[in-house]
Each structure stands twice: as structure tokens, then as C-alpha cells.
Structure 1
Amino acid sequence: MILPEPERGSVILIVDDSVASIEILSALLKDLGDIIVATNGADAVRLAEEHQPDLILLDQEMPGMDGYETCRALKANDETRHCAIIFVTAHTGQDMEVGAFAAGAVDFITKPFNAPVVIARVNTHLALKRKTDALQQLADRDGLTGVYNRRYLDSLLTTEIRRHHRQGQSLGFAMVDIDFFKAYNDGYGHLAGDDCLRNFAQCLTGMLRRPGELVARYGGEEFAIIVPNLDVDRAEGFSNWLCQGIRDLALPHAFSNIQNYLTASVGLAVGVPPQGMSVREVTLVADAALYQAKRNGRNTSVVSNFNL
């Protein structure tokens, strides 16, 4: 099988306590992606969390956290376990190879470096990573609307809760529900209802402005939005903006009890996640705010701070 050349934009993390090795590998791989470097295991884990590299070249022998310990830490971390890891070692033999694969590595390269072999192996694993990512993208999407599905939403929200707690940053999580969708579906028919869901999802996606924001279909006519680093004092304006964006869609809804066009209700949970907060707890706060928005007459939003 011929693998496609990896596109530029790949991120490669080189981890080695030897500056000379870092310089050699950086020079060899500079045309295959953006290079970031670390000289110890702790910095490698931190940089991997921050930059989400496609591939990590990890030295086997380092002071403190050695390569095996660092590899296991990366694979045990929800934010970095997807990263492909190639061990870099001066040793050969069955025990080394078995140990590397047992720790979670996908391959290894040996010192002193054979330039064509290094480039070929890195190039192959970058291409494999891109193909794996493409397949995962398909598995993570809702078949009707094309936005992310509930399974992926729960996985990412888990990661974002932990990250925002660790960094002391405020996280926003919105539940958005189409008002009187059953009446829309019954009145216009299921095919029109499917078109409505697709238009609604596209509208929400088009309103995303910052990296990390994500729309997912939660179920039925209910959608969810993850909003990283949403300050509490901006939350009400953001939730009102979502409602207005749906109104601006101006999609006719002759069967609505409140307007003659499509509207939505929004419940937004916001705040710095406390230690141990779960996806279910965040969702319950947003869902309770959504329920209150419906009780308030729909076509409106309610914000709830989960720190209170």
C-alpha cells in the first residue's frame, strides 16, 4: 500500500536530553512539519498537552523520567494518548523492542542516526496518523448533520473540564434546543425536519469564532456547544447571541406557538470547573438552565454558573 505524503502543518515533538541529537533530528525533519523540542520527560508531557503533536520522537535514556516512564505518562493522559510515539535509542535487541512497544510506542529508530531511515520512518508514521485521524473524524460525526456526535462530545468535554480546572480558566457549555421542533416535523414532514436540523447545525457551526469551540448534536433536536475560556461576564452576551443567530436564519415555522420563524432556547453553564467535576454534572447545570429558558417562554437564554 502506498501511503500519501503528509501535508505540512504536522507537529513533531523531539524529546532528548542531548542537544546534539535534537539539532540533528530537527535538521532532518524540518521539511516534514513544525518542530518543538523538550529535554526531559516532564516538559515533554507539558508540551504534548499544549501542542497536541502528531508524532513524538522520544529518547529512551534520560535523567529523571526516562523514555519508558514518559511514554506511559503520555499514553495514560487523555489529552496526549492519541500521539504516535517513536522511541530513539542507542540500544538494539528484543528486550528493548518489546519494552518500547509495551510502553505504547509505534516504532523505534537507533543512534547513530541513519538519515534516510529516520526520514522514511517519520514520514510513514505521519502519513498513518493522518489516515487514522481521517477515519476517526468520520466515526466522530453525526451522520445527518455532519457536526460532532454525542460520544465525541463527552470525550472532549471530559478533557476540557480537566484542562480548565488545571489552568483555573472558565469553561462554557451550552445546550441549544429548537423550539417546537416536533410541531415543525409533524407539520412540514420528516424530510423537511431533517433539512431543518442540517440548517440549524450549519448555523451554529458558522457562529463559532475561536479555536476550540465545537458544536455537537446531543440528541434529537438538541445540540451542545463547548466554549473554551468563556469569561463569566461574557456568558450572557454569548448565549443571547446564539438565540439571535437562530432568529437571523429566518427559517419559516408556521407551526410554532411563539413566532412564525424558527427559534431556539439556550441553557449555558459557565465557570471554572472544580476538582473532580464530571461531564454529567456540567450537563445537568446546562440542562437545568435550558429548562428554565423554556419555562421563561422559549426563544431566550438562561446562564447558570456551576461554581455557585
Structure 2
Amino acid sequence: MTNWVDSMVEQASDRGRVLLIDDSKLIRKTAEKMLDKVFTLVLAVDGVDGWEILAKDGDIQVIFCDLMMPNMDGFQFLEKVRSSDDERIRQLPVIIVTGADNSEPAKEKAFALGATDFITKPFNATNLRARAEAYIGHQRQTKTLLEQVNLDTLTGLLNKEGFEDRLAKDISFITRHQHSLSTLLIELDDYKTLFEHIGRAGYDSILKQIAKVIQRSVRREDTVARTSLARFTVSLPTAKGDGALTLSQRICQQVAAFGIRFKGEKITISLSIGVVNVTSGQHPELPELLKAIRQALATAQSKGKSQVHVQGLEGQVLETRVSIDQLLRELAFNGKLTTEVDMDNLVTSLKPIVALLNQSQKQALIDSVKL
């Protein structure tokens, strides 16, 4: 016989958990009367209060949110939800509660920021319950499917859980066969500013284009995943640091070449990439490698936009072989070098070529440097 406490807990979990955010005490009381017998209702007085609840309560399944509130309004709350690094929060349905004083442009702005649906005040019990039931049902189905296949809904790539499972297998493979492994952590530069500027639809479109560029650039045996709001992670079994660097630069250049315009304005897109190379004979643990690629990305970002940083598992900077042609292409494309180059070694390596020049050619080279 089932313990009655367990039964009560199970019934409570099946009710569905709804977060309602509204600064009107009357609206909160009205919603409580309409929903409390069917759902577990959590109430918040403004966007700040709602965000704090959402960050702590992992069981929220649908959100009803007013637009006009003090401290943090519905627009700001919606933007915070859709730009969250937590995929669970980012994918939650947010139903905007509108009133007679909300204009069409306000609704269009909310939709651009990622509003799932709208409901108008004053609402009736049947309509409110129907919306909650529909989106909770859809949320449960989506969550179940994602848990089964470990896929990111936007790009169709693996998600964080799926990638970490695959990376663990790649680590096992390279350890067993004494191969190297390179791992990339890629992040869209200034992604929050970009999201605010062009809205969710435009932002999602850019992410999908980036995903396609990365997928087209890797080998069949490599793994690409979207592991956070603006981050992609790539596992390259058997790849050395030089190859990973070349791949990273190619991805950066292709993304920088996106011809994206928004309301007549050209939008510049760039990536920062951290690369960690595990050499043959090293036996990393998964958490150790994940920490190392986060460190590598942070180092790349500390140098500015569109930077690539390559390091070893323990943080040491790796010497990578870079061709002169590659450096010239970078200068032509970016107007600067994004690759870390030891200039003293570069000069030393060029001496045999300079020695082949005649006197007038050497003088021309010296004069060009003086300019």
C-alpha cells in the first residue's frame, strides 16, 4: 500500500507549477482563486522577485508575466530569461499578461524578445487554466524528448549533457590508444548586447548560421554541441594543437564574413575561441578538461574580440606552427593578427629567405619597414 505522504507528494508534483508575476495585488489574488485548486501557484510582485524565484525553483513549468511593473518590468524580465545561460530557464514558456493600456508596439517588442503567448486582462478562469495546462503539457513532452536524445532544440546539435557524455568517450579512446585530443570552446562576442539589439528571432538565426559553419568545418569523427546560450563546444579526437588552431581561425573568419544587416545597419559578428590540446600520454579527467577549456576561452576573451588562445591541459601556452601564408591571410582579413606569434622565432625562421635576396631587394625591405 502506498504511503499517504508519498501519494500527496506525487499528486503535488503532477499539478504543474506556475509562476505568476504581477505588481497588482488584485490580479495576484484573482489568479490564485482561478488556478490554486488545479496548479501549484507561485506568486511574485515584480521582475526582480520573479527572477529570484525562478533561479531557485527548478520545478517552474510556465510563467505568466505582466509588462508594466516597478524595479524590473516584463520586457527586462523576458530579456533576462531568454538570455540566461541555464537552458532550463531559457526554454520556459513565458505568457505575457497585457491590458488595455498596452499598445501594439509594446506587444511586438515583447514578441521580439521571445514572448511565447499573450493573455489579456481581465482574464477568465477557463482561459487562464487552458493556457497553463497547454503549455505545461507541451513543456513536459519537450523535456522528456530532450532528456531522451540530448539535443539542443534550436540547432539540432548535442546539448551540454550529450556533449559531456561524448567527450568522456573521446577521452577514454585517446587514453587507450595514446592519441592526442583537442577541444574547442567557442563563444559569440558581446552576445547579450547583440540579443538586446536585434531581438530573439534575429539572434537565434545567427546562432543557427554559426552552428552550420562549425558543422561544415569539422570531420565526421568530431563532435559539435551547443552547450550554453552563446557557446559551442567541439571535440576533435586525434587532432593536435596546430590543426585545432587552423580550424579555429577558419571558423572565426567565416563567421566574421557574415553579411548581416538589421534595419539597414550592418551587424558585425565575431567569435572568441579557447583551445586545449591534450597530448599523447596524458590522461585527463572530464572535469579537468572542461575547466581547462573555460580557462582558455577566458584568456582569449581577455585579449579582445575575435581571438583564439591555444593552451595545454595545465594552462601552459603551446608552441604552434603557423605558416607565413596563414599570417598574411589573417592580416588581410582582420587588419591584425589574432594568432599568438613569437616574433623573435618568426624573424629567425625568415633569415634563410632574407639571405636569398639581392642587395637592392634587401634595401627595399628595410625601406618598407621604416615606412
TM-score w.r.t. the length of structure 2 is 0.42
1:227-306 map, 5 Å? 227-252=236-261, 260-272=267-279, 276-306=283-313
Q: What is the deviation of 1:264? A: 0.4
Q: What is the deviation of 1:260? A: 4.4
In structure 1, which of residues 220, 234, 250 is the aligned counterpart of residue 229 of structure 2?
220
8 Å Cα contact 2:150/2:159 also seen in 1: yes
Quick one: distance in 1 between partners of 2:280 and 2:172?
8
SS for the counterpart of 2:260 is: coil
Quick one: distance in 2 between partners of 1:252 and 1:175?
27
Quick one: distance in 2 between partners of 1:250 and 1:237?
23
SS for the counterpart of 2:257 is: helix
8 Å Cα contact 2:179/2:281 also seen in 1: no
Q: Give the aligned residue type for 2:246.
A: G
Higher helix share: 2
Q: Give the aligned residue type for 1:173.
A: T
Pairwise CA RMSD: 2.6
8 Å Cα contact 2:181/2:277 also seen in 1: yes
Q: What is the deviation of 1:275? A: 5.8
After superposing on structure 2, the runs of 4+ consecutive aligned residues of structure 1 that deviate more than 4 Å are 135-138, 273-276
Q: Is the aligned partner of 1:199 residue 2:209?
A: yes
Quick one: distance in 1 between partners of 2:165 and 2:312?
22
1:147-158 map, 5 Å? 147-158=157-168
Q: What is the deviation of 1:249? A: 2.8
Q: Give the aligned residue type for 2:238.
A: N
Identity, % of aligned positions? 22
SS for the counterpart of 1:287 is: helix
Distance 1:161 1:199, change over 3 A: same
Q: What per-residue deviation string (whole Å, max 9, x for no partner) do you get for residues 95-125 of structure 1?
A: xxxxxxxxxxxxxxxxxxxxxxxxxxxxxxx
Distance 1:200 1:233, change over 3 A: closer
Quick one: distance in 2 between partners of 1:191 and 1:253?
12
Quick one: distance in 1 between partners of 2:248 and 2:204?
24
8 Å Cα contact 1:253/1:261 also seen in 2: no
8 Å Cα contact 1:181/1:221 also seen in 2: yes
Q: What per-residue deviation string (whole Å, max 9, x for no partner) do you get for residues 198-228 of structure 1?
A: 12212211222x2211210111101101111
1:1-308 map, 5 Å? 139-208=149-218, 210-252=219-261, 260-272=267-279, 276-306=283-313, 308=316
Distance 1:155 1:253, change over 3 A: farther
SS for the counterpart of 1:169 is: coil
8 Å Cα contact 1:147/1:216 also seen in 2: yes
Distance 1:169 1:250, change over 3 A: farther
Quick one: distance in 2 between partners of 1:292 and 1:138?
35
Q: What is the deviation of 1:250? A: 3.4
Distance 1:275 1:269, change over 3 A: closer
8 Å Cα contact 1:239/1:302 also seen in 2: no
Q: Give the aligned residue type for 2:272.
A: S
Greater RCO structure (CA 8 Å; 6+ sep): 1
Quick one: distance in 1 between partners of 2:242 and 2:200?
40
TM-score w.r.t. the length of structure 1 is 0.51
Q: What is the deviation of 1:276? A: 4.9
List alignment gaps of at least 5 residues for structure 1: 1-134
8 Å Cα contact 1:268/1:286 also seen in 2: yes
Q: What is the deviation of 1:187? A: 0.6
8 Å Cα contact 1:253/1:262 also seen in 2: no
Quick one: distance in 2 between partners of 1:253 and 1:275?
47
8 Å Cα contact 2:178/2:281 also seen in 1: no
Quick one: distance in 2 between partners of 1:242 and 1:199?
11
Distance 1:214 1:252, change over 3 A: farther
8 Å Cα contact 1:252/1:262 also seen in 2: no
Quick one: distance in 1 between partners of 2:169 and 2:262?
37
Q: Give the aligned residue type for 1:267.
A: G
List alignment gaps of at least 5 residues for structure 2: 1-144, 317-371
